[in-house]
């Protein structure tokens, strides 16, 4: 990239090549590396665009000043481009160097808390986040943020290319039951009342569809007071939000798959992109086979229902769980018979840590069965097991058993990932995309002894009003869907409910009386009575997409200014206390607990 010359620099630190030899140039940047070799001073000067080596001779009046510089000081140099004696093919500017005739120190650096250039070790994350402005100068993180920008640009271009219009929706809005805690903002003008920062632009984009617009998108900031994870930033994140009028989930899928193909073939071409349309898997099937609603299909080890094998079993562990109407699943580990007893003991300990009673196992090799359940399981049961799970010589089988169906499935899913990590089972040569569809509309909340929405409360129930009136709520499915890539949820969406009657009934089942629905969702409620088109949409987590493409283990490595794992901004000192006057202005009193 070329930039216009100005009083600070005629070129960037990544621009000069052999064709510029003999040119008089002026650069400005940070001192990346400094080397004094036999009296000659070599300085690598760095800016956003690259690095250029400059040479200062000992006869120069500014030699001592330059020689005493600390790394990361900002300097300006002027001089002549010459051919470099020791060419460096690893640098784009490695054919040239600049013999400095004029030098100026623009801004000196103090002693660094950690090296920026050529830092062989990973600093503690809190130190990196406190000095994020330095961390962002490091080559890897700087490239990550540039890449993040390039992905956003591709997403935006893709949306415009598919006929979507870009909107901006409000940041100060009303509280909404999106599934996480709201961030609340007290009102100065309206004592005792609060705005909420949007968990998503959900209602606004639906209202836009009711307002006559056909295709909406937004690079939308979202705010959710939820605990952080390696793949989820605490507090705030940006998503590619989209909505389509007169559209079904199939229309959304087609647009999303086209967009993902454009982005991943451009930015993730180091792996094979799958054929479209992507595989679709119902939520119930995903949970039963993979123990997760975001299954990683780059390796096998799926869970098989083997309850039929052991219906009359004398093995007390299996017999008891079947009598209790619990679940019994088996996972085949290809080549697992070669693993040591210690490996299976570690797997058993992992399952116990997750809340199950243990993990019986079998290994089959050269016609012989071994393992913790080998003596307890009959030959006929082993034969039926081998047929269902497709056991071959050299394989092992581990069992996932428990009385509580969802909990047991979930632990089985975690065990599956544990096995993949331990045995390096993932095929990393391709991108594994699939749609998870047919999510349950409602779920039972044990803590509050009530029915809750499972996911998005504004989704259309499958079967419409008839299902809401006649089915057990936990049996009702919704037109909700997630897009999964390599075991991560990268997008989530739904076909929306656009009927006031269905909306009222759905919220009634979840414990919201009609008056509260009308009060809390008045804008959407009103919009639906003046002709609402069927509409569908979804949203992509942008930082998570970038994290996946770059193979980064933590989402904070692709965000310029993230909060840390305790939801704190160590650089800016947030959250922080505010003055009594500020609290009085917004009519807030602090009620402190005994602990605080």
Does pLDDT of 227 surpass 90? no
Considering only residues 374 and 517, tell me which one the structure prediction assigns the higher pLDDT: 374
Q: Which of 66-70, 280-284, 441-445, 453-457 has the lowest mean pLDDT?
A: 453-457
pLDDT at residue number 596: 53
Average pLDDT of the segment spanning 316-336: 96
For the packed helices 542-550 and 249-267, what is the interaxial angle rounded to 10 degrees? 40
Among 107, 132, 152, residue at a domain's last position? 107
Exposed, middle or buried: residue 33 (CB in 10 Å: 0-12, 13-18, 19+)?
middle
Tell whether 114 is covered by a domain: no
Residues 415 and 540 in one domain: no
Which residues, other chains included, contact 570 with Cβ-Cβ below 8 Å and sequence gap of 6+? 126, 129, 130, 564
Average pLDDT of the segment spanning 277-282: 98
Residues 569 and 444 in one domain: yes
Does pLDDT of 481 surpass 60? yes
Residues 275 and 156 in one domain: yes
What is the domain range of residue 350? 299-425
Residues 516 and 415 in one domain: no
CA dist 596 and 594 (Å) reads 6
Tell whether 197 is covered by a domain: yes
Contact between residue 218 and residue 168 where contact means Cβ atoms under 8 Å apart: yes
- Residue 74 parent element (H or E): strand 74-83
Residues 421 and 344 in one domain: yes
Query: pLDDT, tens digit, for every residue of 198-211?
Result: 999 999 999 999 99
Tell whether 336 is covered by a domain: yes
CA dist list (Å): 302 to 288, 305, 307, 351, 390: 9, 10, 15, 16, 12
Average pLDDT of the segment spanning 220-246: 93
> What percent of the chain has pLDDT above 70?
98
Tell whether 146 is covered by a domain: yes
Does pLDDT of 242 surpass 60? yes
User: Which CATH number belongs to the domain containing residue 168 in this structure?
Assistant: 3.30.930.10
Among 391, 425, 459, residue at a domain's last position? 425
Residues 235 and 324 in one domain: no
Residues 395 and 348 in one domain: yes
Tell whether 131 is covered by a domain: no
What is the total count of domains within the chain? 3
Does pLDDT of 243 surpass 80? yes
Tell whether 562 is covered by a domain: yes
User: Which CATH number belongs to the domain containing residue 74 in this structure?
Assistant: 2.40.50.140
Short-list 246, 240, 178, 256, CA closest to 210: 246
CB atoms within 10 A of CB 22: 8
Tell whether 254 is covered by a domain: yes
The pLDDT-based confidence of 402 (bands split at 50, 70, 90) is very high
Average pLDDT of the segment spanning 351-367: 96
Contact between residue 96 and residue 16 where contact means Cβ atoms under 8 Å apart: yes
Residues 341 and 368 in one domain: yes
Does pLDDT of 230 surpass 90? no
User: Which CATH number belongs to the domain containing residue 397 in this structure?
Assistant: 3.30.1360.30
CA angle 86, 88, 90 (to 5 degrees): 170
CA dist list (Å): 445 to 186, 190, 347, 349, 495: 30, 34, 31, 29, 24
Residues 473 and 491 in one domain: yes
> What percent of the chain has pLDDT above 90?
90
Among 378, 396, 425, residue at a domain's last position? 425
pLDDT at residue number 57: 96
Residues 168 and 64 in one domain: no
Q: Which two tokens stand for residue 356?
A: 């199950």
pLDDT at residue number 302: 97
Residues 254 and 276 in one domain: yes
């Amino acid at each position: 990239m070329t930039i216009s010359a100005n009083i600070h620099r005629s070129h960037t630190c990544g621009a000069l090549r052999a064709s510029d030899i003999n040119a008089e140039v002026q650069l400005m940047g940070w001192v990346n590396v400094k080397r004094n070799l036999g009296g000659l001073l070599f300085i690598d000067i760095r800016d956003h665009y690259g690095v250029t080596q400059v040479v200062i001779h000992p006869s120069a009046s500014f030699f001592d000043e330059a020689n005493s510089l600390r790394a990361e000081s900002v300097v300006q140099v002027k001089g002549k481009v010459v051919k470099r004696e020791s060419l460096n093919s690893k640098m784009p500017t490695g054919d040239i160097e600049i013999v400095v005739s004029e030098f100026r120190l623009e801004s000196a650096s103090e002693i660094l808390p950690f090296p920026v250039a050529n830092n062989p070790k990973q600093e503690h994350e809190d130190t990196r986040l406190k000095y994020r402005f330095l961390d962002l100068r490091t080559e890897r993180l700087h490239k990550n943020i540039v890449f993040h920008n390039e992905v956003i640009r591709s997403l935006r271009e893709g949306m415009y290319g598919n006929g979507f219009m870009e909107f901006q929706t409000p940041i100060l809005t009303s509280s909404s039951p999106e599934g996480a805690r709201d961030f609340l903002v007290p009102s100065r003008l309206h004592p005792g009342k609060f705005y909420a920062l949007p968990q998503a632009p959900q209602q606004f984009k639906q209202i836009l569809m009711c307002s006559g617009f056909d295709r909406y998108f937004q690079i939308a900031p979202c705010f959710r007071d939820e605990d952080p994870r390696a793949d989820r930033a605490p507090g705030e994140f940006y998503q590619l939000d989209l909505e389509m009028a007169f559209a079904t989930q199939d229309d959304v899928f087609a647009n999303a798959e086209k967009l993902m193909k454009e982005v991943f073939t451009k930015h993730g071409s180091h792996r094979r992109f799958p054929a479209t349309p992507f595989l679709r898997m119902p939520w119930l099937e995903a949970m039963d086979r993979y123990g997760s609603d975001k299954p990683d299909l780059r390796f096998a080890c799926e869970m098989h229902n083997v309850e039929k094998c052991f219906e009359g079993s004398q093995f007390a562990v299996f017999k008891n769980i079947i009598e209790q109407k619990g679940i019994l699943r088996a996972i085949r580990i290809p080549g697992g018979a070669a693993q040591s007893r210690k490996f299976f003991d570690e797997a058993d300990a992992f399952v116990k840590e997750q809340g199950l009673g243990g993990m019986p196992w079998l290994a089959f090799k050269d016609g012989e069965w071994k393992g913790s359940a080998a003596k307890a399981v009959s030959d006929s049961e082993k034969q039926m097991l081998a047929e269902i799970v497709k056991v071959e010589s050299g394989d092992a089988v581990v069992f996932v058993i428990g009385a509580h169906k969802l909990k047991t499935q979930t632990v089985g899913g975690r065990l599956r990932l544990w096995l993949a990590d331990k045995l390096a089972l993932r095929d990393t040569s391709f991108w594994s995309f699939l749609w998870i569809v047919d999510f349950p509309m409602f779920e039972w909340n044990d803590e509050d002894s009530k029915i809750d929405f499972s996911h998005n409360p504004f989704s259309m129930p499958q079967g419409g009003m008839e299902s809401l009136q006649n089915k057990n709520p936990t049996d009702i499915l919704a037109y909700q869907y997630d897009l999964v890539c390599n075991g991560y949820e990268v997008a989530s969406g739904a076909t929306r409910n656009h009927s006031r009657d269905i909306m009222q009934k759905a919220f009634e089942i979840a414990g919201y009386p009609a008056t509260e629905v009308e009060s809390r969702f008045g804008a959407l409620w009103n919009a639906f009575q003046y002709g609402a088109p069927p509409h569908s949409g979804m949203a992509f987590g942008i930082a998570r997409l970038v994290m996946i493409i770059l193979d980064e283990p933590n989402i904070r490595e692709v965000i310029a200014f993230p909060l840390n794992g305790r939801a704190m901004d160590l650089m800016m000192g947030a959250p922080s206390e505010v003055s009594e006057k500020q609290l009085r202005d917004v009519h807030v009193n602090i009620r402190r607990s005994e602990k605080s």
